[in-house]
Amino acid sequence: MGRRVYLDHNASTAVHPDVVAAMLPYFSETFGNPSSVHAFGREAREGLDTARERIAGFLKVRPDEIVFTSGGTESDNFGIKGLAAARGRGHIITSRIEHHAVLRTCETLETQGFAVTYVSVDATGMVDPDEVRRSLRPDTFAISVMHANSEVGTLQPVREIGAIAREHGIAFHVDAVQTFGKVDIDVDAFGIDVLAFSGHKIYGPKGVAGAYVRKGTKMASVQHGGDHERRRRAGTENVSGIVGLGRAVEIRQRDMHAEASRVAALRDRLWAGIQARVPDVRLNGHPTERLPGTANISYRGVESESIVLGLDLKGIGVSAGSACTSGSVEPSYVLVAMGVPLEWAMGAVRSSLGRSTTAEDIDYVVENVEPIVRKLRSAMPVGAR
Amino acid sequence: MRYSAVLVDHFLHPRNAGLMREPDGVGADEYDGCGDLARFYLRVREGLITETRFQTYGCGPTIAAASAASELVIGRAVADLAGLKAREVEEALDGLPDDRKHAADVVAGALRAAALDALGRDARGGTAGGA
């Protein structure tokens, strides 16, 4: 098999070998149900508690403010629906570029009588805190804005938005799935009440995630059953997964800052290389306030999926900004919200780098992008350019 | 890989891509709701296709479908091409996934339009069917 380069870390990551090692005993000898009173259960409980403490320590919060879930999507549902269920009615402010886990949750709440305002973003994909302020209503009970967008990587001014929420006594929910373990999060300084994070974006396993819930935040449970997670989220805990998440967080705490600068330099090398070799390209997202490993690049007049296929055939994994399914091409709603013209939005390709990415990988990608794009452009009708 | 080896080969090495000077027939088709489009140019001698060129904008399967179809039509009668079915284009690619069937549709549509254009020119006294 030829060279393989994975540049889709915003989609998922390989589980760190140390994480796998930490998890393994929890599939066999330490398999008990952490709710059981016997030794088997107590041992599993110990693993659960240690992971909770590690994650709480990383976020500088209390262990009882961490709730484990099955994924980032559940964490967002848990947070937003939980805040809404505790009120029963009222108004939520969110942005147009949230992950579907937030957008569709809010849309569902609209059908149940809640009101939602979707604030816009500027050309760099950033929310304007003043627009959030202007959107406040007397019945606004929650603001939900992501920390960073997965497609373009733009970091949101969560500190400013959090200050607005706090000033008005409104709960602030932040989807931090793309930033947790990658960039600093200070829930106190940012005024965050509920924060969603996930395991498989940070070299942990899939199917495990969590939420931080500030003590005293008014929330109602949306999943009913046993008394797990202090009656906030029913269901036997995914102990092995949670242990893995705990270990992954520990590794991130140690490595994230060094890795962020290394990965940001490689990301800039990718953009510089492509810019130098391929005409008619643009970088989407904020030039500086951006996830260290994310580069969303548009190739004007080329359809992004054909570039993704061309790169896939060279062993390179990236993701397309537009998706062509069942005969309808949808440009990314994020790029549309940013006002990226259609001819550019249709040709957007996201590369997201991570801990395994090397300079050689980047150079290999740059070498391969140029002929693919040139060939695709040469087969294009003039009118489509 | 969700695509056939034939499809991948046509995508990587498209046959007959490009423009044609003074063609005997030109036709294009665009897929509704989808940005995909294809344009075909035909050279016709004595009612038979002797040469074709195409230009396309779309996902990988659309490019591959155009390339495969460009080989498929050589030597065929223009009148026959006017009734080209998408299924035939798809078969030339060894199949398409359900969500990519439109690639064959848009290419077949463009070829039918090019064939009709050639027939029309011929009826008006052009060279498409005669000489």
In this complex, do B60 and A310 lie within 8 Å of one another by their Cβ atoms?
yes
| Cβ–Cβ < 8 Å for A378, B18 | yes
A382/B55 CB distance under 8 A: yes
Q: Closest Cα to residue A219, out of A196, A201, A193?
A: A193
B66 chain-A contacts, CB cut-off 8 A: 379
| Shortest alpha-carbon distance between residue B46 and chain A (Å) | 28
Residue A68 has pLDDT above 60, yes or no: yes
The pLDDT assigned to A303 comes to: 87
For residue A378, list chain B residues with Cβ-Cβ distance below 8 A. Answer: 17-18
Contact A146, A102 (CB under 8 A): yes
- The SS3 of residue A328 is strand
Note whether A384 and A294 are within 8 A (CB).
no
CB contact under 8 A, B59 and A346: no
**Interface subset of A 287-316, CB within 8 angstroms of B:** 301, 303, 305-306, 309-310, 313
The closest CB to that of A325, out of B36, B99, B105, belongs to B99
Task: Give the distance from residue B53's alpha carbon to the nearest chain A alpha carbon, in angstroms.
Answer: 10
A216 CB near a chain B CB, below 8 Å? no
Give the containing element (helix H, strand E) for A173: strand A171-175
What is residue B4's predicted lDDT score, i.e. its pLDDT? 94
Q: Which residues of A touch B14 (CB under 8 A)?
A: 375, 379
Q: Does the structure show a pLDDT above 80 at A263?
A: yes
The ipTM estimated for the assembled molecules is: 0.70
Q: Transcribe B27-92 into DSSP letters.
A: EEEE-TTS--EEEEEEEEETTEEEEEEEEEESSHHHHHHHHHHHHHTTT-BHHHHTT--HHHHHHH
Cα–Cα dist A65/A188, whole Å: 13
Would you call A341 helix, strand, or coil by DSSP?
coil
Task: Characterize the bridge pairing of strands A140-144 and A91-95.
Answer: parallel
A297-316 pLDDT per residue, tens: 999 988 888 899 899 989 99
Give pLDDT < 70 ranges for chain B. Answer: 1, 33-35, 126-131
Sequence-distant (≥ 6) Cβ neighbours of residue A284 within 8 angstroms: A125, A151, A152, A296, A297, A298, A321, A335, A338, A340, A344, A348
Q: Which of A15-29, A45-59, A101-115, A369-383 is predicted with the least confidence, judged by mean pLDDT? A: A369-383
Residues of A in contact with B17 (CB under 8 A): 378-379
Question: Does the CB of A326 have a partner CB in chain B at under 8 Å?
Answer: yes
Asked whether the beta carbons of residue A381 and residue B18 sit closer than 8 angstroms, the reply is no
3-state SS assignment for residue B22: coil
* A106 classed as catalytic: no
Confidence at residue A324, expressed as pLDDT on a 0 to 100 scale: 54
* Distance from C-alpha of A115 to C-alpha of A95, rounded to nearest angstrom: 14
Contact call for A324 and B28, based on CB within 8 A: no
Check if A381 contacts B (Cβ < 8 Å). yes
Separation of alpha carbons A359 and A272, rounded Å: 13
A-B interface: how many C-beta pairs under 8 angstroms? 75
Contacts of A327 in chain B (CB under 8 A): 31-34, 99, 101-102, 105
Nearest residue on chain B to A312, alpha-carbon basis:
B1
Kindly state the average pLDDT of the residues A356-362.
98
As given in the structure block, the two tokens for residue B112 are 């039918």
Give A327 or A100, the one with higher predicted confidence.
A100
Could you say which of B12, B18, B58 has the minimum Cβ distance to residue A303?
B58
Q: What is the pLDDT of residue A382?
A: 45
Cβ partners under 8 Å of residue A159, min gap 6: A189, A190, A191
Inform me whether the C-beta atom of residue A346 falls under 8 Å from chain B C-beta atoms.
Answer: yes
User: Do residue A379 and residue B28 have CB atoms under 8 angstroms apart?
Assistant: no
| Residue contact B35–A329, C-beta within 8 A | yes
Angstrom distance (rounded) from CA B107 to CA B60? 13
B14–A313: do the CB atoms touch at under 8 Å?
no
User: What mean pLDDT, rounded, does chain A reach?
Assistant: 94
Rounded Cα–Cα distance for residues A92 and A76 (Å): 14
**Residue of chain A whose alpha carbon sits nearest to that of B12:** A310
Mean pLDDT for the stretch of residues A317-332? 70
Single out the catalytic residue among A324, A343, A363, A370. Answer: A324
Question: Given an 8 Å threshold on Cβ–Cβ distance, is B33 in contact with A328?
Answer: yes
pTM of the model: 0.89
Taking CA–CA distances from B40, the nearest residue in chain A reads: A381
Taking CA–CA distances from A314, the nearest residue in chain B reads B12
What pLDDT is attached to residue B35?
A: 66
User: Distance (Å, rounded) from C-alpha A344 to C-alpha A329?
Assistant: 13
A259 touches chain B (CB under 8 A): no
Q: Examine the pLDDT at A328 and tell me if it is beyond 60.
A: no
A94-148 residue pLDDT tens: 999 999 999 999 999 999 999 999 999 999 999 999 999 999 999 999 999 999 9
- In sequence order, the β-bridge partners of residue A174 are A195
CB burial readout B69-105, b (16+ within 10 A) else e: bbebbeebebeebbebebebbbebbeebeeebbbbbb
A382 touches chain B (CB under 8 A): yes
Give the pLDDT score at B58: 82
Q: Is A273 exposed, middle or buried (0-12, 13-18, 19+ CB in 10 A)?
A: middle
Q: Would you call A258 an interface residue with chain B, using a CB distance cutoff of 8 Å? A: no
Which residue among A306, A378, A382 sits closest to B17, beta carbon to beta carbon? Answer: A378
Q: Judge: A327–B34 Cβ closer than 8 Å, yes or no.
A: yes
Residue of A nearest to B3 (CA): A309
